[in-house]
Amino acid sequence: MPLPLAPLLPFAIRLGAVAAVGYLAQRLLRRHGHVGRTDQRAEEALDDLDEGLASHRPRDAAGQRNTAFRLRRTFRMGGKSYEFDAGAIARFRLREIE
């Protein structure tokens, strides 16, 4: 007795589409991406961030807002412990040019 494969067809199509998009993204990154660098000053600034979200407007820079974010979590999976550390520093500046 043959197996009914028709119910698996939508899943197979979705899986193929996801694989194709992933392959295309990889090709684009390799073609148009560039090798980055690690700036030790930026690494130290990210390590010095306090946990949470902070935002302020500097008095000396009109139209500018600085924001910093850090999230640190520790979790266990499969008997091993992992630490998740995400940090971001952003500057948004809007100024009129002539």
Q: What's this model's pTM, rounded to 2 decimal places?
A: 0.55
Say if 33 falls within a structural domain.
no
Express each pLDDT in 11-22 by its tens digit. 999 999 999 999
Q: Which of 88, 90, 91 is nearest to 46 (CA)?
A: 88
Tokens standing for residue 51: 């946990």
Each residue of 11-23: b (16+ CB within 10 Å) or e? eeeeeeeeeeeee
Q: Which domain holds residue 58?
A: 40-93
Number of other CB atoms surrounding residue 71 within 10 Å:
13
Domain count of the chain?
1
The least confident of 45-54, 58-67, 85-94 is: 58-67
Tokens standing for residue 71: 């999230």
Amino acid 75: pLDDT: 93
Query: In whole angstroms, what separates CA 33 from the centre of its chain?
Result: 16
Say if 32 falls within a structural domain.
no
